[in-house]
Chain A
Amino acid sequence: MPGTKFGYSLKKGSGIESNKLRYALLVMIPIFLLYLVLRIIPILGTFYLSLFDWNLIKPRRPFIGLKNFINIAGDKSFWLAFSNTMIFTVFVVVISVLLALILALALKKKTRIGGLYEFAYFLPVVIPMVPVSIIWKWMYDKTYGIINYLLTSLGLTAVGWLTDPNIALISIIIMSIWKVLGYYMVLFLVGLRNIPEQYYEAAVVDGANSWQVFRSITFPLLKRMTLYVSVIATIQALNVFTQVYVMTTGSQGAPLASVRVLVYEIYQNGFRYFKMGYASAQVIVLFAIVLTISLIQFKLLRTED
């Protein structure tokens, strides 16, 4: 078509189209610049560092190419962190997203008491992660935490929530689900409230039961929000750090090996051992993992955008 460039119409005559393009560029260019300065450049800085052997403090910084990555391949600690993180992610994402959806559906209608429910389910999200981890660490205490206190008073045996290496990861999974559930619930509520009431009214008139309503009306229209929630839930789960850090410090802490996660591994290598180049390489591997999984999710939950 004559007068077009990149398929976008720049002809003076088509006023609205060129307005739109101009507006889009006017908005996106500053935004892109912000991203460039605040995200892209520092991240590229990290990518760059991964090619070096840098101690953070020493001015000496020898170039070692891909040696850091080769070392990662043989680092047992890293792969243990990888498997722990994957297990953590699968459980937390699947359970919390499903539960959040169910909750949002249940609370969609009840408006007055629903408000109180929403508030209660959102409360865990509101408390910062560090105090939350301290509270849970304490509640999980084997002999004197309140959870075992309740279990034993019901005649069940006490569980070593954080001290038993086999259970420690599960305990952190439970606590993490507790923390994010309200967040995803609110997002689903926003998505649900976007669905016009008329659709539901029409369905009732047609005699559909609740499962059919969900399947043919709610779920398809909720797909966009579901994609969003799954993607951010996955990203956040793969990047888990603070709760593991708090729960493993100190003499009452959980055994590290059973709950070691990728970002903790990066933190330890970067800030405890000062192997910044190596830690940066690990960041890249983590990024590759997260990117791959997210792209898969996009493909699976594709919407007709």
Chain B
Amino acid sequence: MINRVFKYKFPVMLSHSLLLFGVFIMIFPFIWMFLTSFKTEQEILRVPLTFLPLGPTFENYVNVCSTIPIFRYFINSLWVASVGTLFVLITSAFAGSVFAKYDFPFKNVLFVIILGTTMIPFECYMIPFYLMISKAGLIDTYTGIIAPLIITSFGVFLMRQHVASIPDALMDAARIDGCGELRVFWNVIIPLSIPALSALAIFNFMFCWAFFVWPLIITNSADHFVLEVGLTIFQNQYTIAYGPVMAGTAISVVPVVLIFMFFRRHIISGMAMSGMKE
């Protein structure tokens, strides 16, 4: 009796405590950032350091909101990230599913090319890209900012891997029922891909939200700044104004967290789908 309890409960308790320890490590810097955003600059640099703010102050948040038009920047980031993610979902879902379930000339070559383009970070070909955008007259426009964000090989690759595991029989069944390929896509592939699409949506939104090098280079008017670019004003060459940087980051993190919480449900809902019989 005792042996069985030991064998069952102990590993569970151990795994729980390890997980909790991991949680602590994961969220600690986040908590630290949060607490710091409520401290005065003097207190932040103080030695020995304080953990909880001595007298929590909102001055950093006030500073951030009054120094930069944070609402405008927020909306810009939201727009860029949403449009970018929408396009990525569409292009990845279509391309990924076609790679997984269809054949066409030069299919493998194309896949290697698409995957290959992701192996070079954007910064490395940013100059030719900029010159192209400049010639197209899209400098300092939202279209120009979003342009690099509408496709991602990570997304195509993910959807390909995911859709490959969808049974062909399901698709054939739909075709026999008279569905054209587009409807097969809409009725069969998409519903079964909700978890992967949700994960892609979260990741992509986050990536677009944090993307700042390109928007910095291409925007020339303050009302087109995205949030991450706007927040760079607090990092200057000599010092970092820790308080406002932490406050600004705390503000900028909120929507991404919300998006994550929203899409997570859809990732979990995938569990119900996995019980499909062949």
A contact residues vs B (CB 8 Å cutoff): 6, 8, 16, 19-25, 27-28, 31-32, 34-35, 37-43, 45-46, 49, 56, 103, 106-107, 111, 115, 117-132, 134-136, 138-139, 143-144, 146, 149, 178, 181-183, 186-187, 189-190, 193-198, 224-225, 227-228, 231-232, 235, 238-239, 241, 250, 263, 266-267, 270, 276, 279-280, 283, 286-287, 290-291, 294, 303, 305
Contact = CB atoms under 8 A, between A and B. Distances in A.
B137 interface: no
A43 B199 contact: no
B261 A228 contact: no
A230 to B, nearest CB: 12
Contacts of B252: 128
Given A40-B113, A144-B48, A129 B210 contact: yes
A194 B274 contact: yes
Nearest to A132: B29
Contact of B240 (A32, A35, A134, A139): A134
Contact of A239 (B121, B228, B245, B270): B121
B33 A23 contact: no
Contact of A190 (B119, B162, B257): B162
B26 interface: yes
Contacts of B48: 144, 149
B103 A128 contact: no
B27 A123 contact: yes
A28 B120 contact: no
Contacts of B154: 232
Contacts, number: 241
Given A41-B128, A130-B228, A121 B123 contact: no
Interface string B16-59: 00010011011101101100000000000001110000000000
B19 A46 contact: no
B177 to A, nearest CB: 12
B105 A6 contact: yes
Given A135-B33, A228-B157, A126 B22 contact: no
A16 B245 CA distance: 58
A220 B181 CA distance: 30
B253 A126 contact: yes
A60 B19 CA distance: 59
Nearest to B180: A19
B203 A34 contact: no
A282 B268 CA distance: 43
Main secondary structure of the interface of B (DSSP, over half): helix
A69 to B, nearest CB: 16
B120 A125 contact: no
Size category, B interface: 35 or more
B80 to A, nearest CB: 14
Contacts of A193: 195, 267-268, 270-271, 274
B164 interface: yes
Contact of A131 (B27, B33, B103, B116): B33
A194 B195 CA distance: 9
A34 B150 contact: yes
Contact of B120 (A43, A115, A131, A224): A43
A245 B199 CA distance: 28
Given A28-B95, A34-B91, A144 B32 contact: no
Contacts of B239: 250
B124 interface: yes
Contact of B199 (A19, A121, A186): A186
B117 A190 contact: no
Query: In the complex, which of the residues B19, B98, B117, B161 has the most CB atoms of chain A within 10 Å of its own CB atom?
Result: B161
Contact of B127 (A31, A56, A189): A56
A227 B102 contact: no
A294 B261 CA distance: 32
A287 B113 CA distance: 12
A135 B29 contact: yes
